[in-house]
Structure 1
Amino acid sequence: MPALLIPPYPHRSSDWAPVWTAFVGRRANNSVHGWPEDAFQSTWKTRRVFGYTVHVVSDPDAIGRVLLDNKTDYERPALVRKLLGAALGDGLFNAEGESWREQRRIVAPTFSPAAVSGFANVIAEATSARVARWRTDKAPMDMAAEATGTTMAIIAATLFGGDARLTAPAAAGHITAMLDAAGRARVTALLGLRSLGPGSGRARAGGRFLRDTLGAMADERAAAGGGNDFYGGLVAALHARYPAAQARELAIDNAVAFYVAGHETTANALTWTIYLLAAQPELQEELRAEAQTALVGEMGDIDARLPRLRAVLDESLRLYPPAPRLDREAMADDELAGRTVRRGDLVSIWPYVLHRHRALWDEPDAFDPDRFAPDRRAAMHRHQYLPFGAGPRVCVGARFAIVEALIVLAHWLEARRFAVRPGPPPVPVGRVTLRPERGMPLAVSAL
């Protein structure tokens, strides 16, 4: 049996470093750099961070209690909601309590299995249009940039009526600035300062661009009584439940979240998956054959015809979870894994660490899609694999993202062959999402 591929991961340290080192140098710009080896074999670490008690938890039972069984006693931290409030306001991503439940009820039908199947043809058309512009010679291509452009086009087409304002080159730059600054904002937020730190000016400009653009679109849809796309329906539903000014702000808040998260996380999943396939030519050929067969049928149920590609995508999401961390704040004293958690403590759950934990996975740093075969997947703990979170706040667009990624990957594999170029391997950088540090240049050639 051939040795399994060990894809790149960031530097690990020999022991837990002082807390302050997480806010300077390399670690300040990359949250997954320098994690100690102990984090991947222990299940609990408590640290004091600028007056906060933070419990880093990798025990699946404890995670299940936080995210599901005792979810009412754990909310998204006020610190995080304050930090993201300028961009996300009081929308679904940032809300708590009844406001969150009401907004979730409004958007959930858009992401039902039947609704996602209805989007499949639009996803395929947007992907095909991008692929049709690719060169046919064996030229290097930044597949991170291509993934971003593709998912931006898909989100615009499926949720926002194909509005060209959301696919303009400037939009991608503004989003990148927002995400980079938010990922670097830990020190200023912990100290109670308003600035986002490095890149804060670009981040504010990005936030203004998105809110102004989406605000104009909300006004257009409100004037028309809604519309037949997701955003039009959202605007109409909110105006039916809230005063006009509040409805407008909530529509913008939610649109920012769905537009940014809806394309950024899937773009990263696509980027890492195509890299893993480029590094394994035989597996790539196997999946190309599966994709070519699957693309002959209807798009609405194509995911059922791509079982091997789905396992590869799941393994890619394990190794490179698009959102590398989840945080919750204890609203009351509690006990987790036999340890006391006090009200106001922060529970920090890192899918990036959990997905590579030695107590939970065989050869955790190796790429092995067979671990997601049905029998092996059924044996997993419910809360050891969290690419989309868990519990009531699990990502509402999780199925959309999976179907989208499979359709895009199938089209890419049908159209081209991908190979890793000489040079250093890509470095995962954790900020709000998990991106490759310098894009993902691959050799792309015609079949």
Structure 2
Amino acid sequence: MTPPKPEARPDKVSLWRYLRLFRQDILSAQPARLYRAWMAEFRTPFFRSFLVNDPKLLNEVLKTRPMDFPKSDRVGEGLRPLLGNSVFLTNGEAWKRQRRIIDPAFEGGRLRGTFPAMLAAGQAAAERLRPGVQDIEPETSHTAADVIFRTLFSIPIEHQVAAEVFEKFRTYQRTQPILNLAAFVPVPAWVPRFHRRATRVTARDIRALITDLTAARQAEITAGTAPDDLATKIMTTADPETGERFSTGEMVDQVAIFFLAGHETSASALAWALYLLATNPEAQARVAEEAQNFMADPQFSRLSALRYTRDVFREALRLFPPVPMMVRETLKEETLRDRAAPKGAQVVISPWHLHRHTRLWDNPDGFDPERFATENGRQCLREAYLPFSSGARVCPGAGFAMVEGPLLLATLLARWSVSAARDRIPVPVAHLTVRSRAGIHLDLTER
């Protein structure tokens, strides 16, 4: 069964029609030609935008000259009430300093220490599930949030503050549009931003709760009683160049993006992976066999036994990349595939279109976890696979996610069989991440 895909709009529509479609759903607002184009130019009265699918140009933007193409503030405008000046939004020296402090917490050796917390969250999820038809997205959100709280602050989601942050974030998701007005209209820094009141209130509440957690952890660090988790590691790491550590306010910014990136993206990927397995019984049987063998003795050193499960998760990230588009900006006039791009032009990198590009991937819309063992699959992994971005600004939690995803699939599929609910085909749409317009309904049966 071919996985669902939004119906593309006609190639030509008016600017205002495009903006309305874009605000509703960034995926279905795009024309079908973007799945075969190497580059496309889009003009508005205020800026020019270039969507790039050319692997050579992507390599230049992300790897060869990343500092010449910093993150655009246009998309960040809508996220600042929650994320402040987190590593996701900053550029230049501020970003470099943040990464020097954050990256050591996500080095390979640290992943072994987070494994027990991930496993416990997965086992708790398997225990919570019940037989019958249900929307699996709320459960994957719950599970992914549980992983973040356990690995970051050593508390389960049942903890009062953790539960409150989770509930507030669910409200934030419903009030946060994909784009703020400032994404399309150049607004001077001194002009108040056009954020919905509900967005501002929930963002403020979330940050207040995170501030309480961070201040409590700082007190534990001072007293020498802090657990050895990700929060402690980050808060006690000094910038090797300046010797400075994050202040409480700076740490709140980082925790906010860890929660957004680590919870929302993982929840999206896990839900779509479960749907893909629900509609592909043979693949599910292989994952279940691997999962049951692994769960008989779940150890970090045995994660390589989940080889096919990892490929399933990797294929889910290809077909349904949680972050469907990323936006960079030109610092100076550039030439992009023989076209002049002025200073301040937007360079849009779309994993959604790149991962389904008809001139790059074999069977681009099909579900095939074994594709990564083929010559085409290996080449595309190197050149056309960006679920975590690439280059200097690759997501610091990429390795974390590639342990978490297969492990959660294993804990769930070892105990539960899933099938797709009849007449409930999910339609992917982009909000903060790629989710289903009306949920992902699966029929669960205990093995």
Q: Output the TM-score relative to the length of structure 1.
A: 0.91
Query: Which whole-Å CA distance do the structure 2 matches of 1:105 and 1:389 have between them?
Result: 18
Cα contact 1:426–1:437 (8 A) shared by 2? yes
**Alignment match of 1:69 (pick from 64, 71, 93):** 64
* Change in CA separation of 1:98 and 1:395 when aligned onto 2, cut-off 3 Å: same
Q: CA deviation at 1:416?
A: 0.7
**After superposition, where does 1:405-424 map in structure 2 within 5 Å?**
405-424=405-424
RMSD: 2.3
Contact 2:361 2:376 in 1 (8 A): no
Instruction: Tell me, in whole angstroms, the C-alpha distance in 2 between the residues paired with 1:424 and 1:446.
Output: 21
Quote the Cα distance in structure 1 between the aligned partners of 2:304 and 2:95: 32
**Counterparts of 2:26 and 2:238 in 1: how far apart (Å)?**
36
| CA–CA separation in structure 1 for the residues paired with 2:422 and 2:394 | 39
In 1, the alpha carbon distance for the partners of 2:418 and 2:332 equals 51
Contact between 1:239 and 1:248, CA under 8 Å: does it hold in 2? no
- Aligned partner of 2:354 in structure 1 is 354
**Deviation of residue 20 (structure 1)?**
1.9
Aligned to 2:100: 105
Equivalence for 2:145: 152
Map of 1:440 onto structure 2: 440
User: 1:15 aligned to 11, 16, 19, which one?
Assistant: 11
> What is the CA–CA distance in structure 1 between the aligned matches of 2:170 and 2:194, rounded to whole Å?
14
Q: Hey, which bits of structure 1, 4+ residues long, moved more than 6 A?
A: 238-244
Which residue in 1 is equivalent to 2:268? 268
Q: CA offsets, 1:32-67, max 9 Å, x none? A: 014212111111111112411111111111111111
Indicate if the aligned counterparts of 1:333 and 1:341 stay in contact, CA closer than 8 A: yes
Aligned to 1:127: 122
* Residue matched to 2:290: 290
Offset at 1:390? 0.6
Point out where structure 1 has 5 or more consecutive residues left out of the alignment: none
Asked if residue 341 in structure 1 is aligned to residue 337 in structure 2, the reply is: no
Q: Tell me, yes or no, if structure 1 residue 213 matches structure 2 residue 209.
A: yes
Q: Is the 8 A contact 2:11 2:31 kept in 1?
A: yes
235-244 or 379-388, larger mean C-alpha shift: 235-244
Q: Is the 8 A contact 1:48 1:54 kept in 2?
A: yes
Q: Do the aligned residues in 2 keep the contact of 1:324 with 1:432 (CA within 8 Å)? A: no
Q: How far has the Cα of 1:194 moved from its partner?
A: 4.5
The offset of 1:313, in angstroms, is 1.1
SS at 1:348's partner residue? strand
Judge which range, 291-300 or 354-363, deviates more: 291-300
Q: Kindly indicate whether the alpha-carbon contact (under 8 Å) linking 2:49 and 2:348 is maintained by their aligned counterparts in 1.
A: yes
**Preserved CA contact (<8 Å) 1:330 1:347:** yes
Choose from 181, 184, 193 the match for 1:187.
181
**One-letter amino acid of the structure 2 residue matched with residue 43 of structure 1:** W
Instruction: Summarize the Cα distance change of 1:362–1:16 in structure 2 as closer, same or farther, 3 Å threshold.
Output: farther
Task: Give, in angstroms, the shift of residue 176 of structure 1.
Answer: 3.3
Supply the AA of the counterpart residue of 1:121: P
Secondary structure of the 1:167 match is: helix
Question: Structure 1's 38 and 105: CA in aligned 2 closer, same or farther, altered over 3 A?
Answer: same
Q: What pairs up with 1:20-419 in 2 under 5 angstroms?
A: 20-24=16-20, 26-135=21-130, 137=131, 139-162=132-155, 164-168=159-163, 170-191=164-185, 192=187, 194-196=192-194, 200-225=196-221, 227=226, 228-237=228-237, 247-373=247-373, 375-380=375-380, 382-419=382-419
**Taking structure 1 as reference, are residues 61 and 188 closer, same or farther at Cα in structure 2, changes over 3 Å only?**
same
Separation of aligned partners in 2, 1:435 and 1:195: 27
TM-score, normalized by length of structure 2?
0.91
In structure 2, relative to structure 1, the CA distance for the partners of 1:443 and 1:157 (3 Å cut) is: same
Contact 1:124/1:299 (<8 A) preserved: no
Q: CA deviation at 1:444?
A: 0.4
Structure 1 residue matching 2:129: 3-state secondary structure = coil
Structure 2 gap segments, 5+ residues each: none
Count of aligned positions = 436
CA distance in 2, matches of 1:221, 1:17: 52
Which one-letter code corresponds to 2:109 in the other structure?
Answer: A
Counterparts of 2:77 and 2:291 in 1: how far apart (Å)?
44
Verify the 8 A CA contact 1:10 1:34 in the aligned structure 2. no
- What's the CA shift for 1:248? 1.6
| Alpha-carbon contact 2:100-2:239 (below 8 Å) kept | no
The C-alpha deviation readout for 1:96-136, integer Å capped at 9, x for no partner, is 1222112112111221112112211221112112222322x
Q: CA 1:351–1:183 in 2, change beyond 3 Å: closer, same or farther?
A: farther
SS, match of residue 414 in structure 2: helix
Paired with 2:370 and 2:10, the residues of 1 have a C-alpha distance of 30
CA distance in 2, matches of 1:104, 1:23: 34
The answer on whether the counterparts of 1:140 and 1:442 sit within 8 Å (CA) in structure 2 is yes
User: What is the percentage of aligned positions where both structures have the same residue?
Assistant: 29
How many Å separate the matches in 1 of 2:142 and 2:261?
A: 14
2: CA distance between counterparts of 1:142 and 1:424?
10
